[in-house]
Structure 1
């Protein structure tokens, strides 16, 4: 019988709660089991995601996407080789907020994992300027679903935690997204972020670069660097 795991995403934040069986399917050791995982955290284990835009559409409140299914290939670990998983997911407007519930099925014994996506591998290998962190953002939802590279100062946080944006700066970020959705190529804003209410606010300069011809889901690169 194929191995099956369960996962549930918060449709507003992209944060996932995974059962132990899903953690095992991803290949995460018990010592790294977390109560919640961000989209960039999960994406860091995947080197091929078929129809990623269709999956991201589930998080879009203005799009009538209620179900999605597709395959992903996992990059593998030192103890486990690459694997091929099938994901079937559906939206569920539960009382505590909109959720996306999914099943992960290991289909490696039926269809071995295909080669990694060369474009994705190349994107993550491109050298970047010192101190810069670059992420992939879905403009319709505002979700950062992958960090291509992270600066040392953010390495322990960006992939595993969604930063909190200072309330006074949310409108500036929203304006950048709106400009790109309207056809502007680039937009910039300075904003403050932190990863815990015990932390001080960190000011960063952000630059959004629209990716043209990204089908029906506008995408952008977000480049952030410590201000000053």
Structure 2
């Protein structure tokens, strides 16, 4: 007999709230969070977001999704700065996402500078879209002791564009990790795999370009933090001077 699958439509927000519990310490978990639902449009008292988690179930939070996301990302060595630098090299525009290792976090609307809903590709068993293309269906076989399908509003074309871009960046990250293994553990089997993959040194050159993009971005944000205009020529000149200083014995 097929196990019963409960269907939760997040548009029916009152039903979702009845199933949840308040958790003032609710936080995103890389290996178990399924969905972070933005609730601000509903004007609910003390509920700004809802976290769907495999282990904890449905958690009601008084923190905005943007704040939850920032708290989560700042704990990793790869932040949005690294993601943006990689996106710039890949000429990816108009979207933002988070991907590091197995973690792939996708926004369900384009307004990521504000609070929006996000889902974890790596923690759901699968996903699909309804026939109208305005809802994504997340299949989660085990949330506590039951299977769930969670329906969330989105735009299929936008969502797939973000997922495809995230997969591209994930591939670049994995090749960068492979290069680091090859550099530090030359006798490791993965090192041989890397050298076979990078015979023309395209990955090695890419890593150098990525480092330059990342550091220029850091300089740009530093100039902005000083409430100055980060003109491209100023960023480039500052980068050249800093790189020259850091590359030499002081």
- Alignment TM-score, normalising by the size of structure 2: 0.27
Which one has a larger percent strand, Structure 1 or Structure 2?
A: 1
Higher-Rg structure is 2
**Could you state the TM-score of these two structures normalised by the residue count of structure 1?**
0.29
More helix by share: 2
